[in-house]
Each structure stands twice: as structure tokens, then as C-alpha cells.
């Protein structure tokens, strides 16, 4: 009797009677897959991840509900968030997670599209491997096709003009980004907020946007329509004493990182109080020190104290008596943002407080919510008007979190246009145009890379196919129709009509994509696929378990 025994996973021996038996090596019970079979298994893992989020692409894409090990629920259709919170075990699937994260870190938008494109490219690789083409030749062909596609993107891009008065084109780009999000019912309002937030902090001469100056905060209650843009800072704190004024006009802010408490010896100390006189003397000393601190603040001209640390009831009472409103326990990032917004200096010691170090704001007021006791501090009309806060409202925490993610994508889309004001058209129009261009170049090549280039062109069709399918249209019929129309008319603006507006011209529908976002998608997806094609073995490092 013969048996096929993998020498990597087992050894066989015979006993004293010549009967064979098998010894499984510890830690090597699974057969190791290498070569082309390994590449196929990697492609299968990547395709599985890609197919999961393909249904979330486009304005009609569906949401996913993600449940954490603690039972927390997240509802989103943002590709980067879905992949980040998914439990992914396979090594190649983890590479796709990192792919969406790198797109999110660099561009901020297009995280779903880049994974769909990578999955489609790998699907095409499988067919090429079946035809006996070597993985390296496929990788070379993809690299060549990607260069053609990126060059073609530059040719079909349009430059849009804008300034701080004419923001219509920026708004259309932000609305395109928000069209597929949960906030699409009020996406015009959110687009205005995203554009105004970016232009408030942007340096148009240097083409730079400082995201540190844009804070996005949220509070449960109210509806998405109650979301507002504050030209200043919103802090989740209130006045330290309920009898302090709720509003301070022409505020001069003392921004302190020192606590309202008497000085103490730095080393370990012990204080024994044995009589009433000693206790009263200590109490008088502490009160005198508190008075000195408050007097130093008042002498500087401050009429509002922002303190990183807390202070006890006695200091709080003295602040109220001296008509000096105060806010305590303000965190480090908020302290820095307040200092930037008000042009104030963060002061570590009361002795260092001078009028020049005070921040200034037109009004500081408390914002109350509904019937609850929740209050937040709003600092408006700051000396440095560039700092802004987007204050999101929503019916529950999930909606607020998703609205924040949606705003982040829209803000990034507008930021990308500030950096490079060229756009291509969405709805799969750019992908179809690039697919036609790559196919045309492939027809002129005689080497074996032509097969890989045609496969790349076919992979680009995955985006319009997914858009059509998610919109309830017939995918193949819609793609064939749009592609034939682009080929005959030479119009690169024709895409999939996801919103049923009876027009395939994406310029008329104002569906804009920043050029740098689309270019980055092509480059990142191609780089990842080339890397996967060159992996023919997975070797576990470390001692055998």
C-alpha cells in the first residue's frame, strides 16, 4: 500500500515488525504552499477583502455594521474604517488594510476605490497566471500600463479656478465626496462647512492647509442640520462655579498650566498641627497665597482664566468673589488650540503672567443643550481668526462619528484642490477613459507585456461596474454603453449615471475628483499588486510551537 506523504509535514518509520507508521512533526502539521500556488492563495485572500467593501462604493453604496470585541457598534461605508476595524488574519489581507490606510493618510479620500482597484487587478492576475505568463512579466506590464494611465489622467484633467470669494467649484468637489455618505441628505450644508473651514485656515500662496487649526467636535442631541461652523474654539467644559457669568465679552484670557494651590516643598514632607492656633495660621497662609495668585491674574488685565489643572473649593470661591470667571481641567490639546486661536501664551507660573501673554477673543460664552445640564464653552471672534471648529450634532453617537468621518473626507478633498487645483471626473469616467488609452497602447506593443496591459485596462473597468451595480443598474450593459460612447465621441467626462439624472456627462452633474487623489489610487494599487505577485512563499519566523 502506497501513500502520498509530504516530507515537509511528516516523517514515516517502521516498527520491529516492518509495519509503517507516520510521525507528524510538531508545528508543521500544515503543508507549506509555495510557488504559483502561493500566489494564487494570496490573490484569493485579497479578492475576498476587496469583495467585502466593493458594495460600499459610490453614492448608492451600502453601509457596513462593525461590532468590536467589546460590543461597540460602528455603522459606516468608509473603506479605511471598515478595513481598520475588521479582524483580518491573512498576511496579504493585512497588506490591503495598510493600502487603504496609506491612501487615507496621504489623500484622505478614495480609500474604498483603491482597494476595489487592487482587488480587480489581482483578479486579472489569476487569469494571466492560468495562461502561463510569469508573475514578473505581469508585474512589468502593470507598471507600464500604470504609467500610461497616470499620464492620460494629466491629459484629461481640467483646472478649476477658485479664490476665497468664488468657492463654487470647491463646494462641488466637497459635495461629490459627501454624496456617498450618511450626511447626503444635508450634504450641501456640510459641503459649505468643509469649504469654509479649509479656506479659513488655508495659505493659498503656499498652497498649504494646517489641519491642526481645524477641530471637529460633536455632541449627541439635535439633528445633522444643527451642525455649525464656529470661527473659534469649542471646548467641552463649563465655568467652574455655577454663579459665574455665562458670557464674557472682549475676553482677555490667562492661559495657565499651573495649579491654584499653595506652594509645597518638593521633597517628602510632614506637617504636624497640634493646636487651633496653628490650624488657623495655616488656613490664613493658604488664603493669602490664593489671594496673591488671583491678584497677579487681575493685575495682568485678564478677565477669564483657562486652567489646565483643577482648583479646590476655596480657590473657586475666591475667584467668584473677585469676579474672575474661570474654566478648569482643560486638556493639553485644547489648551494649545486656545492659545493658537487667541494669540495667547501658555503661562507655567503666576509670576510670569504679563498683559502681553494674554489671549484675546470677542466673546466667550457657554452653549447649553436641550433639557440636560450639558454645557460647552465657545470662544468666538478670536485674535487669530484662522482657527475654526466644526460642531456636529446628531441623534446618536454612531451618526455623529460617521458625520465626522464624512467631514474629514470632504475637508481632505477640498485640501487636495488647494494643493493642486486640477480635477478629473467621477462616476467611473476617468477609469473608462484611462482603460481605453491603455488598451490602445497595448495594441501597439509586440512583447508579452501587452497581455498584462490589457488586463490592467480590464481591471480599471471594475470601478464603473461596481458603481453601476450598487446603483441598481445593469452593470455590463451600462459599462458597454458608456465605453462605446466615450470611444466614439472622445469625451472623457462620460461616466455612470448613479443618481438617475438622465445624463452621463459628469461635468454637468458636477461630479469632481481631485487629480492627485485618482493618481494616488492608481499608483498605490499597482505597487501593492506588484509586491503580491513577487511573493511565492510564506515562512513563519520564530521557534516552532
Residue 11 cell numbers, joined: 516523517
Q: Can 173 be counted among the known catalytic residues?
A: no
- Say if residues 236 and 389 touch (Cβ distance below 8 Å): no
- Say if residues 406 and 184 touch (Cβ distance below 8 Å): no
Out of 409, 461, 497, 513, pick the active-site residue: 409
Q: Can 409 be counted among the known catalytic residues?
A: yes
Distance of CA 502 to CAs 107, 492, 495, 496, 497, Å?
Answer: 31, 17, 12, 10, 7
- Say if residues 189 and 311 touch (Cβ distance below 8 Å): no
> With 0-12 CB in 10 A as exposed, 13-18 as middle and 19+ as buried, what is 276?
exposed
Out of 74, 76, 111, 227, pick the active-site residue: 111
Query: How many Å apart are CA 148 and CA 431, to the nearest integer?
Result: 12
- Say if residues 135 and 38 touch (Cβ distance below 8 Å): no
Q: Can 443 be counted among the known catalytic residues?
A: no
State the chain's maximal CA–CA distance in angstroms.
103
Out of 74, 78, 227, 513, pick the active-site residue: 78
> With 0-12 CB in 10 A as exposed, 13-18 as middle and 19+ as buried, what is 250?
exposed
Query: How many Å apart are CA 198 and CA 3, to the nearest integer?
Result: 69
Query: How many Å apart are CA 404 and CA 348, to the nearest integer?
Result: 34
Out of 74, 112, 389, 478, pick the active-site residue: 112
- Say if residues 432 and 483 touch (Cβ distance below 8 Å): yes
Query: How many Å apart are CA 542 and CA 476, to the nearest integer?
Result: 49
- Say if residues 28 and 9 touch (Cβ distance below 8 Å): yes
Query: How many Å apart are CA 474 and CA 498, to the nearest integer?
Result: 11
Residues 6+ apart with CB under 8 A from 482: 428, 429, 432, 464, 494, 495, 496, 504
Residues known to be catalytic: 78, 111-112, 409
Amino acid at each position: 500500500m502506497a501513500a502520498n506523504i509530504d516530507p515537509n509535514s511528516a516523517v514515516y518509520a517502521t516498527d520491529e515488525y516492518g509495519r509503517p507508521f507516520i510521525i507528524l512533526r510538531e508545528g508543521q502539521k500544515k503543508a507549506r504552499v509555495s510557488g504559483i500556488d502561493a500566489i494564487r492563495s494570496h490573490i484569493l485572500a485579497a479578492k475576498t477583502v476587496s469583495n467585502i467593501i466593493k458594495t460600499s462604493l459610490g453614492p448608492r453604496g451600502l453601509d457596513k455594521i462593525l461590532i468590536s470585541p467589546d460590543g461597540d457598534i460602528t455603522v459606516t461605508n468608509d473603506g479605511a474604517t471598515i478595513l481598520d476595524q475588521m479582524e483580518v488574519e491573512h498576511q496579504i489581507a493585512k497588506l490591503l488594510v495598510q493600502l487603504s490606510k496609506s491612501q487615507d493618510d496621504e489623500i484622505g479620500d478614495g480609500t474604498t476605490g483603491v482597494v476595489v482597484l487592487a482587488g480587480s487587478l489581482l483578479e486579472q492576475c489569476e487569469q494571466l497566471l492560468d495562461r502561463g505568463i510569469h508573475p514578473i512579466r505581469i508585474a512589468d506590464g502593470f507598471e507600464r500600463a500604470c504609467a500610461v494611465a497616470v499620464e492620460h489622467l494629466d491629459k484629461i484633467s481640467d483646472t478649476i479656478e477658485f479664490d476665497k470669494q468664488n468657492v463654487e467649484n470647491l463646494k462641488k468637489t466637497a459635495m461629490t465626496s459627501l454624496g456617498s455618505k450618511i450626511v447626503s441628505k444635508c450634504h450641501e450644508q456640510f459641503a459649505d462647512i468643509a469649504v469654509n473651514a479649509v479656506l479659513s485656515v488655508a495659505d493659498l500662496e503656499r498652497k498649504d492647509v494646517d489641519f491642526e487649526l481645524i477641530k471637529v467636535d460633536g455632541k449627541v442631541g439635535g439633528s445633522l442640520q444643527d451642525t455649525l461652523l464656529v470661527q473659534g474654539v469649542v471646548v467641552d467644559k463649563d465655568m467652574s462655579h455655577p454663579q459665574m457669568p455665562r458670557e464674557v465679552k472682549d475676553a482677555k484670557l490667562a492661559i495657565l498650566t499651573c495649579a491654584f494651590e499653595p506652594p509645597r516643598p518638593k521633597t517628602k514632607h510632614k506637617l504636624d498641627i497640634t493646636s487651633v492656633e496653628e490650624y488657623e495660621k495655616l488656613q490664613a497662609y493658604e488664603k493669602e497665597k490664593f489671594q496673591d495668585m488671583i491678584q497677579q491674574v487681575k493685575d495682568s488685565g485678564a478677565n477669564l482664566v483657562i486652567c489646565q489643572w483643577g482648583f479646590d473649593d476655596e480657590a473657586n470661591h475666591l475667584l467668584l468673589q473677585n469676579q474672575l470667571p474661570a474654566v478648569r481641567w482643560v486638556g493639553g490639546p485644547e489648551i494649545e488650540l486656545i492659545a493658537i486661536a487667541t494669540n495667547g501664551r501658555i503661562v507655567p507660573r503666576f509670576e510670569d503672567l504679563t498683559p502681553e501673554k494674554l489671549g484675546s477673543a470677542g466673546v466667550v460664552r457657554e452653549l447649553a443643550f436641550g433639557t440636560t445640564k450639558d454645557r460647552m464653552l465657545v470662544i468666538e471672534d478670536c485674535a487669530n481668526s484662522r482657527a475654526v471648529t466644526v460642531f456636529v450634532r446628531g441623534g446618536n453617537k454612531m451618526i455623529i462619528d460617521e458625520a465626522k468621518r464624512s467631514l474629514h473626507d470632504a475637508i481632505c478633498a477640498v485640501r487636495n484642490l488647494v494643493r493642486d487645483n486640477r480635477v478629473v471626473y467621477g462616476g467611473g469616467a476617468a477609469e473608462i477613459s484611462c482603460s481605453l488609452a491603455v488598451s490602445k497602447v497595448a495594441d501597439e506593443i509586440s512583447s508579452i507585456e501587452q497581455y498584462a496591459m490589457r488586463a490592467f485596462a480590464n481591471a480599471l473597468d471594475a470601478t464603473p461596474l461596481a458603481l453601476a451595480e450598487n446603483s441598481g443598474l445593469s452593470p455590463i450593459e451600462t459599462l458597454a454603453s458608456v465605453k462605446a460612447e466615450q470611444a466614439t465621441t472622445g469625451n472623457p467626462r462620460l461616466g455612470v449615471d448613479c443618481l438617475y439624472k438622465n445624463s452621463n456627462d459628469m461635468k454637468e452633474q458636477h461630479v469632481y475628483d481631485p487629480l492627485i487623489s485618482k493618481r494616488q489610487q492608481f499608483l498605490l494599487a499597482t505597487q501593492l499588486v506588484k509586491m503580491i505577485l513577487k511573493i511565492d512563499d510564506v515562512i513563519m519566523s520564530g521557534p516552532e510551537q
